[in-house]
Amino acid sequence: MNKSIIPLSLTNMQTAAPANLEQICSNHDNVIIDLWTTSCTRCPAALDTLTSLTSDPAFADFKFVAINCGNDTQQCDDAREILEATPAPRWSTIDHYYAPLLEKEKAKAFFGFSQVPFYILVVQNKIVHMGSKKSFDLQSIPVRVRDINNNIAGADLQRTPSPTNVTAADHAFKAIRGDSTDSEGVEADVESVGVVKMVDPVEPTEFSNFVFSLDEEF
């Protein structure tokens, strides 16, 4: 099964409107999510990096989302003060959301992390990569995502759906995770969608076996 994004209930920190992470990701083909907290000393630098990428032409087709993971409402207020600090708001080219304690715990259980900053790459509403700043090569993301999208689009045009109704896109995402066999025991046509080469061999490829070297525990 492909790893879809979790429908976390969030608050838009710019408008105070309720939001849903699954809906946010479904509105954009490519999304980079950064999870952070106000107590994390390395998170501001990570957000500075993402902000610089929003003006990079290579990332023109990406939506950048930052989620402040809170323990109480005070942290939400603290985060808003940071974002709105004078003389100029910080990280204003990123969409900012707040996850209250219950949603933060859901995210930790779902994504398997306990420290921040933590990045998640979502392509066509599917998680294809996640990890810490050390294991998440932001500069390589545009090329990897372009290859994923091109391979999925080309494979879907050329392939006939199998009797198990598993699409080429399913196989592509399975290959990204290192899973070459579908739930019915059908061998995925990994070579035809050409995505295995995009998986860094030194990084884990199964979500359940991810080993992260993260920065700030919370």
Chain segment 30-77, per-residue pLDDT in tens: 999 999 998 899 999 999 999 999 999 999 999 999 999 977 767 788
State what percent of residues in the chain have pLDDT above 90.
45
CA distance 99 to 76: 9
Total-model pTM:
0.70
- In whole angstroms, what is the distance from residue 109 CA to residue 78 CA? 25
The pLDDT, as a whole number, for residue 194 is: 33
Q: How confident is the model at residue 208 (pLDDT cuts 50, 70, 90)?
A: very low
Cross-sheet strand order for the sheet of 18-20: 18-20, 9-12, 95-99, 62-69, 30-36, 118-123, 126-132
Buried b / exposed e across 123-147, counting CB within 10 Å, b at 16+? bbbbbbbbbbbebbebeebbebbeb
Considering only residues 86 and 12, tell me which one the structure prediction assigns the higher pLDDT: 12
Stretch (H or E) spanning 161: none
Query: Quick one: DSSP state of residue 94?
Result: S
pLDDT value at position 57? 96
Backbone dihedral angles phi then psi of residue 4, each to the nearest 5 degrees: -85, 160
pLDDT at 178: 52
Nearest to 124 by CA among 161, 89, 162, 151: 151
